[in-house]
A and B are shown apart, each in its own frame.
Chain A
Amino acid sequence: MNITNRVFTTSWRKGNSFIRIVTFSTKPQANELPPFIQKQSQPNSTGSIEGRKSVIPQNYRFIYPEFLPDPKVEWRNPVREKLERMDMLDRRTKIDIPEFYVGSILAVTSSDPHAAGKISRFVGICIHRDRCGLRARFILRNVIDHQGIEVRYELYDPTIHKIEVLRLEKRLDDHLLYLRDALPEYSTVDINMEPENLDDSAEVPINDIKVVLRPRPWLERWERQNLQGVANVDQYITDKQRRQALAHEKPWEKYDMMKQYRSSIPEEEQKEIFAEVHSQLHSLELQRKRNKRKRSFVKPTKLA
Chain B
Amino acid sequence: MSRLLLTNLKTCPTTHLLSTISTNTSYFTPGLNHVERRQEIHLTSTCSEIRKLARLRVVDNSEIGKRAMAEGKPPRCIHVYNKRSVGYIGDKVLVAIKGQMKKGILVGLKQNQKLKIPKFDSNNIVLIDDNGSPLGTRIHVPIPTVLRTILKEKTQAKGADYTKVLAIASRFV
Q: Which residues of A come within 8 Å of B, CB atoms?
A: 110, 112-116, 120, 122, 137, 144-154, 157, 159, 180, 217, 219
Question: How many inter-chain contacts with C-beta < 8 Å in the A-B complex?
Answer: 70
Residues of A within 8 A of B113 (CB): 152
Residues of A within 8 A of B148 (CB): 114-115
How many whole Å from B59's CB to the nearest CB in chain A?
8
Residues of B within 8 A of A122 (CB): 118, 173
Give Cα distance in the complex from A157 to B115, angstroms. 10
Also in contact, A149 and B115, with CB within 8 A (given A112-B145, A120-B145): no
Closest to A160 in B: B116
* B116 touches which of A146, A148, A152, A217 (Cβ 8 Å): A152
Give Cα distance in the complex from A154 to B115, angstroms. 7
Residues of B within 8 A of A151 (CB): 116-119, 173
Give Cα distance in the complex from A114 to B116, angstroms. 11
Interface of B is mostly: loop
Give Cα distance in the complex from A157 to B117, angstroms. 14
Q: Which of A147, A152, A153 gathers most chain B CB within 10 Å?
A: A147
Give Cα distance in the complex from A217 to B121, angstroms. 14
* A152 touches which of B59, B115, B122, B172 (Cβ 8 Å): B115
- Extra inter-chain contacts (14) besides given A115-B148, A147-B122, CB under 8 Å: A114-B149, A115-B172, A116-B145, A122-B118, A144-B173, A145-B141, A145-B170, A146-B141, A147-B124, A149-B120, A152-B115, A152-B119, A157-B115, A217-B46
How many whole Å from B54's CB to the nearest CB in chain A?
16
How many whole Å from A59's CB to the nearest CB in chain B?
29
* B140 in contact (CB, < 8 A): yes
Also in contact, A147 and B116, with CB within 8 A (given A112-B145, A114-B145, A120-B145): no
Beta-carbon contact of A147 and B119 below 8 Å: no
Closest to B139 in A: A145
Residues of A within 8 A of B121 (CB): 147-149, 180
20 pairs, A vs B, C-beta closer than 8 Å: A113-B149, A114-B148, A115-B145, A115-B148, A116-B145, A116-B172, A122-B118, A144-B142, A145-B140, A145-B171, A147-B59, A147-B121, A147-B122, A147-B141, A148-B120, A148-B122, A150-B120, A151-B116, A153-B116, A180-B121
Closest to B170 in A: A145
Residues of B within 8 A of A146 (CB): 141
How many whole Å from A302's CB to the nearest CB in chain B?
26
Residues of A within 8 A of B116 (CB): 110, 112, 151-153, 157, 159
